[in-house]
Amino acid sequence: MFLEQFPLQKKSNGWIEVICGSMFSGKTEELIRRLRRAEFANQQLILFKPKIDNRYSKKNVVSHSGNEFEAVLIENSSEILGHIDQHMVVAIDEAQFFDDGIVGVCESLSAKGIRVVLAGLDMDYTGKPFGPMPNLLSVAEYVTKVHAICVSCGNLAQFSNRTVSETSQVLVGAVEKYRPLCRACFTNTES
């Protein structure tokens, strides 16, 4: 269980939080939960999502369960800095879809005293590290790995198994293209 921590430091110190896991593990749900708490505390915040992610909404970040939060659509990480004003919290959903520059952007924001919260897949459909996520995980002060439930056996799932024949690394989709599997069931599908 993740206990949200806030360092006992001056307000000018920021930090990076990463929420990662497989498809259907609740990453976006957890991101929205954290944003709702910051919003309740009257903290200035902004949420970004990649333009490529248009599954449930072209504008908002929407979890698989239907919770949503207004977002700014961007094509690449360098656009983020142009939107920052008096924000105390900067959130980024589907971080795996961004370019490697996202790491430097997050480090720059946290150095300015901003809390940066990201959510994304840590592995692609082949079980390999996805995009900038390994580097984000290594620079983050706080990492939360959430798990889905394996649809095959009921154990904790950490893999996103693609159920269609497309082989490109990036394929935006939901239940029509992916299912969560545990390590044993994922390994059995590769055999």
Catalytic residue among 30, 68, 75, 94: 94
User: Which span out of 59-68, 157-166, 178-187 was modeled with the highest average pLDDT?
Assistant: 178-187
List, for residues 76-122, the tens digit of each pLDDT value.
999 999 999 999 999 999 999 999 999 999 999 999 999 999 999 99
Contact (Cβ atoms closer than 8 angstroms) between residue 24 and residue 64: yes
Q: How far is CA 38 from CA 22, 74, 117, 133, in A?
A: 25, 22, 11, 24
Q: Give 26-82 pLDDT, tens digit per residue.
A: 999 999 999 999 999 999 999 999 988 766 667 877 766 767 788 999 999 999 999
Residue 101 located in a structural domain: yes
Query: Which domain covers residue 126, as residue numbers?
Result: 15-146
| CATH number of the domain residue 45 falls in | 3.40.50.300
Residue 173, in any domain of the structure:
no
What secondary structure letter does DSSP report for 151? T
Q: Domain for residue 93, yes or no?
A: yes
What's the whole-model pTM score? 0.88
Active site residue 94: yes
